Structures are given as structure tokens and as C-alpha cells.
Amino acid sequence: MSKTLLAESFGQRSLDIFTALSPFYVEQPHGKGSALYKYPTNRCKNNLESSADPSLLEIVVTGDFYFLFAIKFSLSFITFYLKHGEPRLTLRLNMQHSYYVKTLLSLLFFSSTLWSKPSHLSDKVVIPTNNWSSQRVLSNVVGQLIENLDVPVEYVNISADRQWGALKRGVIHFQIEVWEPSMGQEFNQLVASGDIIDLGTHEAKVIEDWWYPKYVENLCPELPQWQALNQCRALFKGSKTMGKGIYFGGPWNYGDADIIRALGLNFSIERLPDAAALWKELSRATQQKRPILMLNWSPNWTDDYIDGEFVNFPLYSEQCEKEPEWGLNKKLVKDCGNRRGGWLKKAATPNLKQRFPCVYNLIQNISFTNRMISDAASLAVVEKLSDQAAAIEWSKKYANSIKKWSSLTCQQ
């Protein structure tokens, strides 16, 4: 069960040579996914094709005429993908002369080594920004504190699934919000293998699970018990779901399809691209007092602005994910909800202490409360401030805490 999407590690990327008879183009083939989820593919006139799986970059080159252009185009794409994630590269070549093939392959290999220079060779602290509001705002808060230490900062937009390889390789330096229900498995594995380090636990306790606005109980009083979902599924059905209820999820994988199968829920998942899309769907529903069932988490801005409840699934247990005979369904795992009261941690690349000791100590000293995180999200979602502006306002409100975190000594 993971909030993150599955991605191959950087070391597993492949460079395969095939033949092709089409013109030069860049392609991102489809990745595998559950039958419950459908991802659109957009095709452009210039024969560039994108898909829902940005982890796979395929470069197809034919003809001597395109050789120099292919080199420049390929290196540009490799630079982008190495900076923002863990690519798996597939190179298709059909060129008359093996000399050109060898030259291009050499340049691709050289560029992947040179241009993916880990951040431990940089004088900047590189901070990831993910696709939920509190993480982006609080990353900017921490970034501003680091800049006060006269250390330059760079922000990199990266998805939650790709951040692990980036932390391991030193492409980014730390993650300020690691949520146990969605990221605990990857975090624990990488800490155990020494690929990342645990920089401590925040005071906050977290939940990530199925959620609905409180007014829905007027139409389905059996809620929040999970058995009410099938009884009241007609309230949540969509025009194209053949009588099934709709659960709105995000781009993260919590094992929701497994929950649906194991508990026999007559629901399908409509997966939205990010947190902002979830909040738009929620806003439309609440304005009309329309029933909606969706992914939510706490602490979050909804804690203060929308009265709601998490569905009471069978309580989480580790056996629920590993032993089919443990729960209600004796044949399938995941017949339970997500972990409640989970931890919120900080993670870092292994060389952070050696490279930036003051930053290392600062991150260790920071501890966010539930209120701090919900306030950060509210400034972005409700007040509609930019990440930077929200960070400034947040820092004013929590100036005393910041002073405490910053009152440390270290040697550069």
C-alpha cells in the first residue's frame, strides 16, 4: 500500500537498441496499470507522443540526415529526465553506418554521466516540491531558513514516487514530509539499506484514507461504517459507471483497488492528477450539497474549513497486507483501511551532514504539529497564496518555533 506510483530504480534503466523504419521522434509508451484506471494519450501533429508513464523515454532515430539533430534532441531529453526522475531509456536506431551508432551511444552515455551530476557536487541545497499543498509551502519555509544560513537553494518539482531514487542518488537533498500511510514502505526499505537517512519524526500524526463531507450522512445515516458504502452507492454513482459508485483518488497508489476487491465494494476509481484537482471536485460537490467520496488526508486544510469524516474500514494491521486469512476476506489481502495515527518523518540523502552540516542540524531540529501543517495547506488552498507567499505568512505566525529550530550552532 503506497501513495507513490511504482517506478523502476535508476540502476534498472535499460538502453536497448532496436531497428525502426519511422522518422525521428520521441515517444513515451504506456505503463501498466489497473484495469480500473484509464489514462488518456495525447498525440501531437509533430509525431511527439506522451502518455501517463513519464518514467519511460523512448528515442527513435533513423537516417544519417537526422544524426546531429538526434544527438542534440536526445541529450536535452536525457538532461530533463535525469533531473526530474528515474528514467528508463529505450533507444531505437536505424542508421547506415555503425560509426554514427557508436558515436551517438557514446555521447548518450557520457551525457547521462556528466549531466546527472549528483547534488553532493553542487553548492546548492536542492529541495523537492511535490503535488500537495502543505509539502510545497513548508518546503519553501525550510528553503527560506536555509537561505538565511547563506546557503543557496534550488527547488525541483518531482513526483512522490521519483523522489526516492533522487534522494538515493543525491539529486535532491531532503524531504520534509514523509507520510507513513503512503510512503512508509519505501522509506523503511531505503533507510534499512543505507540509501537514505532518517532525520527524525515530526510531532504531527497523520491519516490518509477515504473521506466524505459530513452532510452526506443526512442521506446515508449508516456512514461512516464501511458497510454503508454499498448500501448507499447510488448516491455516489456517475453517469458512466454502470451503477457503480465513484471514489475520487489522486495520482498516488494507496491500494484502493485492492480494498475494493477485498471488501466487495461496488465502486470504481476516478483518478485525478493532483491535489488541486481533488479540491476542485470537492468544491463543486459542496456547493451543490452533492454526495462525494474521495481521498483526503489529515492534517489538511479541510480539518478547519469542511466538516467531514473518514470511512471506518476494518482497522489496519500489517497482517492485513500480507496474510489473506487474517481479515474478513480469507482469500484476499487488504481487507482493511489505511494506517491511522501514522508518523510524519524527514528523510535526507546520505551525504547531507557532510556537505551541509548546518542544514542537517536544522532539519533534525524542525518538528511540525498538525496545526502547522493544516495552516500551511490553508494558506495555499483557501487563501490562494503562492508557495513562496504562503511560506512567508506561515513563518510570521510560527516565528517563535522557527527561532527555536534555528537556535543551534554548527561548523561549516
Is the same domain home to 99 and 27?
Answer: yes
Question: Tell me, what CATH number does 309's domain have?
Answer: 3.40.190.100
Is the same domain home to 237 and 320?
Answer: yes
Is the same domain home to 104 and 133?
Answer: no
Asked if the structure places residue 5 within a domain, the reply is no
Instruction: Please report the pLDDT score of residue 109 as a whole number.
Output: 52
Asked if the structure places residue 31 within a domain, the reply is yes
Instruction: Please report the pLDDT score of residue 199 as a whole number.
Output: 98
Is the same domain home to 238 and 170?
Answer: no
Is the same domain home to 247 and 233?
Answer: yes
Instruction: Please report the pLDDT score of residue 121 as a whole number.
Output: 56
Is the same domain home to 106 and 126?
Answer: no
Is the same domain home to 201 and 350?
Answer: yes
Is the same domain home to 194 and 124?
Answer: yes
By the 8 A CB rule, do 343 and 205 touch? yes
In sequence order, the β-bridge partners of residue 125 are 153
Where does a domain end: 326, 351, 379?
Answer: 326
Instruction: Please report the pLDDT score of residue 91 as a whole number.
Output: 46
Where does a domain end: 326, 352, 375?
Answer: 326
The contacts of residue 116 (CB under 8 Å, 6+ apart) are 82, 83, 169, 171
Amino acid at 202: H
Report the first-to-last Cα separation within the chain, whole angstroms.
Answer: 40
Look at the chain and report how many structural domains it folds into. 3
Residuewise pLDDT in 10s, the chain (412 residues): 444 443 333 333 333 323 233 333 333 333 323 333 333 333 332 333 333 333 344 444 444 445 555 555 555 555 555 444 444 444 444 444 555 555 555 555 544 444 445 544 568 999 999 999 999 999 999 999 999 999 999 999 999 999 999 999 999 999 999 999 999 999 999 999 999 999 999 999 999 999 999 999 999 999 999 999 999 999 999 777 778 999 999 988 888 999 999 999 999 999 999 999 999 999 999 999 999 999 999 999 999 999 999 999 999 999 999 999 999 999 999 999 999 999 999 999 999 999 999 999 999 999 999 999 999 999 999 999 999 999 999 999 999 999 999 986 565 5
- Quote the distance between the C-alpha of residue 110 and its chain's center: 29
DSSP state of 346: E
Question: Tell me, what CATH number does 174's domain have?
Answer: 3.40.190.10
- The C-alpha angle 173, 177, 178, rounded to 5 degrees, equals 95
Asked if the structure places residue 369 within a domain, the reply is yes
Q: Please give the Cα distance from 301 to 383 (Å, whole number).
A: 10
Asked if the structure places residue 3 within a domain, the reply is no
Tell me the whole-structure pTM to 2 decimals: 0.73
Instruction: Please report the pLDDT score of residue 412 as a whole number.
Output: 53
The contacts of residue 132 (CB under 8 Å, 6+ apart) are 274, 275, 297, 377
Asked if the structure places residue 337 within a domain, the reply is no
Instruction: Please report the pLDDT score of residue 14 as a whole number.
Output: 34
Asked if the structure places residue 2 within a domain, the reply is no
Is the same domain home to 74 and 23?
Answer: yes
Is the same domain home to 174 and 72?
Answer: no
Q: Which domain holds residue 307?
A: 207-326
Is the same domain home to 188 and 132?
Answer: yes
Q: Give the three cell numbers for residue 292.
A: 462525494
Is the same domain home to 308 and 402?
Answer: no
Where does a domain end: 91, 116, 141?
Answer: 116
Instruction: Please report the pLDDT score of residue 239 as a whole number.
Output: 72
Instruction: Please report the pLDDT score of residue 378 as a whole number.
Output: 98
Asked if the structure places residue 1 within a domain, the reply is no
Asked if the structure places residue 50 within a domain, the reply is yes
